[in-house]
Homo-oligomer: A and B are copies of this chain.
Amino acid sequence: MSEVAESRLKLRVGVAGATGYAGAGVTGLLLRHPEVELVQVSSRSQPGRPHSETYPGSECDLVLREELDGSACDVIISALPVGQSGRRARGWLDAGALVIDIAADFRLRDPGSFRQWYGEQHPDPELLAGAVLALPELDPEPLAAAQLLALPGCFSTAVILACGPACSSGLVEPDIVVDAKTGTSGAGRTAGAGYLFSELDGSVLPYGVSGHRHQPEMEQALNSLSPDRYQVTFVPHLVPMTRGIVATCYLKLREHASISALRDAYSSGYLGKPFISLDDGPKPSKLATGTNLCHLSIQEQGNRVVICAAIDNLGRGAATQAVQVLNQRLGLAPAAGLTREALWP
Check if A282 sits within 8 Å of B233, measured CB to CB.
no
Given contacts A210-B300, A211-B301, contact A240 B177 (CB under 8 A): no
Output the least CB separation between A297 and chain B (Å).
7
**With an 8 A cutoff between CB atoms, is A118 at the interface?**
no
Query: How many copies of the chain does the oligomer comprise?
Result: 4
Q: How far is the CA of A257 from the CA of B91 in the complex (A)?
A: 52
**With an 8 A cutoff between CB atoms, is A278 at the interface?**
no
Most chain B Cβ neighbours within 10 Å, of A205, A207, A242, A300 = A242
Check if B190 sits within 8 Å of A193, measured CB to CB.
yes
User: Which of the four size classes fits the interface of chain A?
Assistant: 35 or more
Output the least CB separation between A142 and chain B (Å).
30
Output the least CB separation between A23 and chain B (Å).
12
**With an 8 A cutoff between CB atoms, is A244 at the interface?**
yes
Which residues in B have their C-beta under 8 angstroms from that of A61? none
Interface bits A291-322 vs B (CB < 8 Å: 1, else 0):
00000010111111010101000000000000
Which residues in B have their C-beta under 8 angstroms from that of A303? 175, 231, 233
**With an 8 A cutoff between CB atoms, is A117 at the interface?**
no
Chain A, range 188-228, C-beta contacts under 8 Å to B: 189-191, 193, 195-207, 209-211
Check if A301 sits within 8 Å of B241, measured CB to CB.
no
Output the least CB separation between A335 and chain B (Å).
12
A284 interface neighbour in B24, B32, B56, Cβ under 8 Å: B56
Check if B199 sits within 8 Å of A284, measured CB to CB.
yes
Output the least CB separation between A32 and chain B (Å).
7
Q: How far is the CA of A28 from the CA of B297 in the complex (A)?
A: 24
Given contacts A177-B304, A235-B301, contact A282 B207 (CB under 8 A): yes
Check if B306 sits within 8 Å of A203, measured CB to CB.
no
Q: How far is the CA of A196 from the CA of B20 in the complex (A)?
A: 14
A196 interface neighbour in B24, B191, B237, B285, Cβ under 8 Å: B191
Stretch of A122-130, A164-172, A179-187 on the interface side = A179-187
Most chain B Cβ neighbours within 10 Å, of A199, A241, A304 = A199
Check if A341 sits within 8 Å of B184, measured CB to CB.
no
Which residues in B have their C-beta under 8 angstroms from that of A196? 184, 189, 191, 195-197, 345
Output the least CB separation between A231 and chain B (Å).
6
**With an 8 A cutoff between CB atoms, is A112 at the interface?**
no
Q: How far is the CA of A21 from the CA of B197 in the complex (A)?
A: 13
Check if B57 sits within 8 Å of A181, measured CB to CB.
no
Q: How far is the CA of A290 from the CA of B177 in the complex (A)?
A: 31
**With an 8 A cutoff between CB atoms, is A248 at the interface?**
yes
Which residues in B have their C-beta under 8 angstroms from that of A161? none
Check if B181 sits within 8 Å of A242, measured CB to CB.
no
**With an 8 A cutoff between CB atoms, is A59 at the interface?**
yes
Check if A301 sits within 8 Å of B59, measured CB to CB.
no
Which residues in B have their C-beta under 8 angstroms from that of A282? 205-207, 209
A56 interface neighbour in B28, B189, B287, Cβ under 8 Å: B287
Check if A206 sits within 8 Å of B308, measured CB to CB.
yes
Q: List 22 A-B contacts (CB under 8 A).
A: A21-B344, A24-B344, A55-B344, A59-B340, A184-B196, A189-B198, A191-B198, A195-B196, A196-B196, A197-B197, A197-B199, A199-B284, A200-B284, A202-B289, A203-B244, A204-B244, A204-B310, A231-B303, A233-B250, A233-B304, A289-B343, A290-B290
